[in-house]
Chains A and B, each alone.
Chain A
Amino acid sequence: MKLEVPTLASLQAEGKKASVVFWVGCAGSFDDRAKKITKAFVKILNHTQTSFAVLGTEEACTGDPAKRAGNEFLFQMQALQNISTLDQYGVTKIVTTCPHCFNTLKNEYPELGGHYTVMHHTQFLKSLIKEGSLKVEGGMYKGKRITFHDPCYLGRANKIFEAPRTLIEKLDAELVEMKSCKTKGLCCGAGGAQMFKDAEQGDKEINIERTEQALETQPEIIAAACPFCNTMMTDGIKNKKQEDTVKIMDVAELIANAKNL
């Protein structure tokens, strides 16, 4: 099935508007694993006939990794450029599959003049279900043991714990919690620009520690809601040689698969 991915520029040329902008993010655009999440989410958007558009080549890094690495200047350069692009199209509502983009757009752009309603894709999917445009039933995940890894920038940082869990429960799956979850969730090790560098000297990698916590729940699937967490946990599972038995899946992928999209 060919994906329908209109850009804001193409819609504008046709004199049309989108009701929500899907902010794909750098990982979602370039990282092979994350691209699958992007596509799964778009499949759902297409399936529900949601009016959306992407920025395409006009999107640029939100500046989150630069800011957290200490480069406030570069962050603000990115932010102001993105804000000017978004405002030029009169964007008011944004959905994103990346909690880092979500946090930055939602919390840090307003002070630089960018005011939007920003939603994480788990919140957005939940709202689609509530509206009735998306119907989710267990399907292939019925009864499966799924544990959910809270992304720091979705959970602790923005107190969104329920949306992803609600979606997992809609799959009729058995949701099992790790010993540290929700506000106590342990980081996957990628945040604060760590994704882009080697860890400091220590006795363990953070993603291994988190993977072990996840494996303690004996899951069939570790659900994630962040492309970076996904990478870290996938590496962790490979390190534990469990990649054949335990899958790391984004919540959007679970839903798209359950619906055979």
Chain B
Amino acid sequence: MIMGYLPNFIFLALLILGGGIFTRNILRLRRNIFLGKEAHRNDRKQQRWKHMIRIAFGQSKMGVKPLAGFLHLVVYIGFVLINIELLEIVFDGLFGTHRIFATVLGPFYNFLIGSFEILALLVLVAVILFWFRRNVVKIKRFWKAEMKGWPKFDADLILYFEVVLMLLFLSMNATDVLLQQKGVEAYVKAGSFPISQFLAPLFEGFEVGTLILLERSFWWAHIIGILIFLNYLYYSKHLHILLAFPNTFYANLEPEGKFEVDAHIKNEVLLMLNPDQASTTAQADPPEKFGSSDVFDLKWTQLMNAYSCTECGRCTEVCPANLTGKKLSPRKIMMDTRDRLEEVGKNINANGGTFNDDEKQLLNNYISPEELWACTSCNACVDACPIAIDPLSIIMDMRQYLVMEQSAAPQELNAMMGNIENNGAPWPFSNQDRLQWSNE
């Protein structure tokens, strides 16, 4: 008797395992993100909701590239809707039922399954086109230096995953429909199969026993595949399907040209210029460090940005520095930040929750000053990002570290700053001559 429930137990165990590892990863992700400094992004809730709904949910920035935007929309809608089917799979798996929703939903069930099948086909086509764009058309932004190795493999792997999952879903239905036709017990006559009916002939010659075995195998492989994919997210750029939402919610809503004015420094400057206006309490202590040289110095929103990056390269593609062959790539800035943060996270995992200094940092070990100094602060990358990532803020924070902590600006910039300090202009002209143009 107990043996009869074995599949249910195995299913439950798999679900707990898959869900458990996923939860652990999400908690680690959260912990890593909050290694960053405070960011004041809890204001203007209404505007933030709108921003998120428009950009993440509504994918408003994806339309800039109409074909990619459309294909992406197909995969996105397919992904979300087909997941309703997942709910049924979970019920069936736990309670040993088969197509439990069929009895509850009646004729609507046919419509539902039929739509899922059509979506599955569309997703399949979209994913194959995506693969083509990457690997045959070789769109330039997918083949930049920072995409070598794992990032390239990751991008393809996601596509293969999706192909396999969709094929399993359709094969499962194809064998199911045959079993339904043969009137096999437990295979309730339910669902409509506009796509998988064309796959069914492939399985027609099999005996009932083999068919049941096949149907069950597809069913199990499908759900196990989904659990694996779920846990793959954390290690992949595919994480954007979750993080795009908080990332757009907590995005910078100010004009792009407005760079943050550092409150600690403000107090230092006030102490020098008008001591009576300087704060003696809040933000009174100078920070331990000006600017950022490692992930700990960045804000948590910047770290979340790094985990959200889809490596699509829309930023790098429009970066004037990258376009003209400089080393700087805003996408690499985000990938480096994430990779360093992951390294720090692993260090923390290995050391029982505390970080052991590894004598590395984001600056130099990942991002070179040469990259940082090539940026024109033009905001093209920020504007191009489909999920409101801001590579420029990281570049600026790191420049601040180079200049204010290390006095390591390029020589010409030191000269420029010296001029501003001495005569109030970036060039060595006397301030007394400021109005000369009016007499020339």
Chain A CB within 8 A of B60 CB: no
- Closest beta carbon of chain B to A74's beta carbon, Å: 6
Q: Is the CB of B416 within 8 A of A57?
A: no
Complex CA gap A29/B425 in Å reads 10
- Determine the chain A residues whose CB is within 8 A of the CB of B177 once the complex forms: none
Complex CA gap A103/B409 in Å reads 23
Q: Is the CB of B373 within 8 A of A200?
A: yes
Chain A CB within 8 A of B251 CB: no
Q: How many residues of A contact B (CB 8 A)?
A: 74
Complex CA gap A187/B324 in Å reads 12
Q: Is the CB of B320 within 8 A of A187?
A: yes
- Determine the chain B residues whose CB is within 8 A of the CB of A142 once the complex forms: none
Chain A CB within 8 A of B402 CB: yes
Chain A residues numbered 176-215 whose CB sits less than 8 Å from any CB in chain B? 180, 183-187, 189-206, 208-210
Chain B CB within 8 A of A11 CB: no
- Determine the chain A residues whose CB is within 8 A of the CB of B424 once the complex forms: 59-61, 78
Q: Is the CB of B438 within 8 A of A192?
A: no
Chain A residues numbered 64-108 whose CB sits less than 8 Å from any CB in chain B? 65-74, 76-78, 80-81, 84, 103, 107-108
Chain A residues numbered 6-54 whose CB sits less than 8 Å from any CB in chain B? 7, 24, 26, 28-31, 35, 38-39, 42, 54
Chain A CB within 8 A of B427 CB: yes
Q: Is the CB of B437 within 8 A of A39?
A: yes
Contact with A along B318-329 (1 / 0, CB 8 A): 101101111110
- Determine the chain A residues whose CB is within 8 A of the CB of B374 once the complex forms: 199-200, 202
B413 touches which one: A29, A69, A187 (CB < 8 A)?
A69
Chain B residues numbered 390-440 whose CB sits less than 8 Å from any CB in chain A? 396, 399-404, 409-410, 412-413, 415-417, 420-421, 424-427, 429, 431-438, 440
* A63 in contact with B378 given A3-B438, A76-B266, A156-B383 (CB within 8 Å): no
Complex CA gap A247/B274 in Å reads 48
Q: Is the CB of A152 within 8 A of B326?
A: no
Q: Is the CB of B427 within 8 A of A30?
A: yes
User: What's the count of A-B pairs with C-beta under 8 Å?
Assistant: 222
Chain A CB within 8 A of B262 CB: yes
Complex CA gap A209/B325 in Å reads 11
Q: How many residues of B contact A (CB 8 A)?
A: 67
- Closest beta carbon of chain A to B277's beta carbon, Å: 8
Q: Is the CB of B255 within 8 A of A159?
A: yes
B290 nearest in chain A by CB position = A72
Chain B CB within 8 A of A111 CB: yes
- Determine the chain B residues whose CB is within 8 A of the CB of A141 once the complex forms: none
- Determine the chain B residues whose CB is within 8 A of the CB of A57 once the complex forms: 431-432, 434-435
Complex CA gap A129/B203 in Å reads 77
* A71 in contact with B380 given A56-B434, A204-B325 (CB within 8 Å): no
- Determine the chain B residues whose CB is within 8 A of the CB of A194 once the complex forms: 376
B403 nearest in chain A by CB position = A70
Chain A positions near chain B (C-beta within 8 angstroms)? 3, 5, 7, 24, 26, 28-31, 35, 38-39, 42, 54, 56-57, 59-61, 63, 65-74, 76-78, 80-81, 84, 103, 107-108, 111-112, 152-153, 156-159, 180, 183-187, 189-206, 208-210
Chain B positions near chain A (C-beta within 8 angstroms)? 254-259, 261-262, 265-266, 268-270, 272-274, 290-291, 318, 320-321, 323-328, 370, 373-380, 383, 396, 399-404, 409-410, 412-413, 415-417, 420-421, 424-427, 429, 431-438, 440
Closest 4 CB pairs of A and B: A157-B257, A192-B377, A203-B325, A70-B399
A-B contact pairs, 28 of them (CB 8 A): A29-B425, A29-B429, A29-B433, A29-B437, A30-B427, A54-B435, A57-B432, A59-B434, A61-B420, A65-B416, A68-B377, A69-B417, A70-B396, A71-B417, A72-B261, A72-B404, A73-B269, A78-B420, A78-B424, A152-B379, A157-B256, A186-B380, A187-B376, A196-B415, A197-B412, A203-B324, A203-B325, A208-B324
